[in-house]
Amino acid sequence: MTTTWRCAPLAVALSAMLLLSGCEQKTDPNHIKVGVINGAEQDVAEVAKRVAKEKFGLEVELVGFSGSLLPNDATDKGELDANVFQHRPFLAQQNHDHGYKLVAVGNTFVFPMAGYSKKITSLTELQDGAVIAIPNDPTNLGRALLLLKKVGLIDLKEGKGLLPTSLDISANPHNYQIMELEGAQLPHVLDDPKVAVAVISTTYINQTGLTPTKDGIFIEDKESPYTNIVVARADNKDAQNVQNFVKAYESDEVAKAAEKIFNGGAIKGW
């Protein structure tokens, strides 16, 4: 996070810690540090970076991450001003689990989760006892289970909202075996002869050249509650640099870029 410092005169003998504590920190309104997930999502953010510079004179510093465990922590600690990678249910779970004070400040895209297979071409071919791989993080696990319920493969206990677990499966008449894996591993198990179907988010399936609308044998629709968001802290959500970045992201230029980069797999969320 780029900052400027204004300090009262201090004795040379004071420690660096005391020096910092005696300074007033100000956020630079013309610079912002934003966490993104490496790959296609960063490619989209690069377009927002260009728009932010052209329209608002805002210098955007993008910081890439390989997974979803670190960007919120870095944002909460002030190492980032904002991040772009998650939807509201995931943010709510992260705030609950870690005590973060992070808030949504803008919408980006719905990246539909879908079921993919190199063994079958439709659900009518899915055999009893087949292995279905799904994400293991709480939010995307629940999202995948809700999608399996929607297409009629399982049923879930009532009242679990957006965060059911495998323990909440109330009916599994075809005895499907649910395998929970890290999201980044799911594209690789498509080649595993033991796995019939893998439920994968657009973030990870994009690495394979597959797309949900063309290659998914079942898919979330546009009414999904999982629209991705721009996230900042409660204490900087109204800052000029954050607001200008949101405006840059919610632009026609970014929407067109995402349509091309995700090959139709990104639905505009604003």
Are 232 and 211 part of one and the same domain? no
Are 203 and 73 part of one and the same domain? no
Instruction: Quote the pLDDT of residue 202.
Output: 82
Identify the CATH number of the domain in which residue 182 sits: 3.40.190.10
Instruction: Quote the pLDDT of residue 163.
Output: 87
pLDDT along the chain (270 residues), means of 10: 42 36 61 96 97 98 93 98 94 95 95 95 97 94 96 96 95 98 96 98 84 91 84 98 98 96 86
- Asked whether residue 20 is assigned to any structural domain, the reply reads no
Tokens of 267: 């639905």
Cβ–Cβ under 8 Å, residues 108 and 84: yes
- Asked whether residue 38 is assigned to any structural domain, the reply reads yes
Cβ–Cβ under 8 Å, residues 199 and 134: yes
Are 252 and 262 part of one and the same domain? yes
Are 107 and 118 part of one and the same domain? no
The domain tally of the chain equals 2
- Asked whether residue 25 is assigned to any structural domain, the reply reads no
- Asked whether residue 122 is assigned to any structural domain, the reply reads yes
Are 197 and 262 part of one and the same domain? no
Contacts of the segment 233-238: beta carbons below 8 A, 24+ positions apart: 233/75, 233/76, 233/78, 233/101, 233/102, 233/103, 234/101, 234/102, 234/103, 235/101, 236/27, 236/81, 237/103, 237/105
- Asked whether residue 55 is assigned to any structural domain, the reply reads yes
Are 107 and 119 part of one and the same domain? no
Query: Last residue of a domain, which of 186, 204, 219?
Result: 219
- Asked whether residue 118 is assigned to any structural domain, the reply reads yes
Instruction: Quote the pLDDT of residue 225.
Output: 81
Residue among 137, 135, 130 at smallest CA distance from 147: 135
- Asked whether residue 187 is assigned to any structural domain, the reply reads yes
Domain that includes residue 194, residue range: 113-219
- Asked whether residue 257 is assigned to any structural domain, the reply reads yes
The CA distance from 204 to 105, in Å, is: 24
Helices (H), the chain: 16-21, 40-56, 71-76, 88-98, 138-150, 202-205, 212-215, 240-249, 252-261
Give first-to-last CA distance, the chain, whole Å.
27
Instruction: Quote the pLDDT of residue 223.
Output: 73
Instruction: Quote the pLDDT of residue 228.
Output: 93
Type of residue numbered 137 = D
Type of residue numbered 150 = K
Are 134 and 104 part of one and the same domain? no
Are 256 and 124 part of one and the same domain? no
Are 260 and 129 part of one and the same domain? no
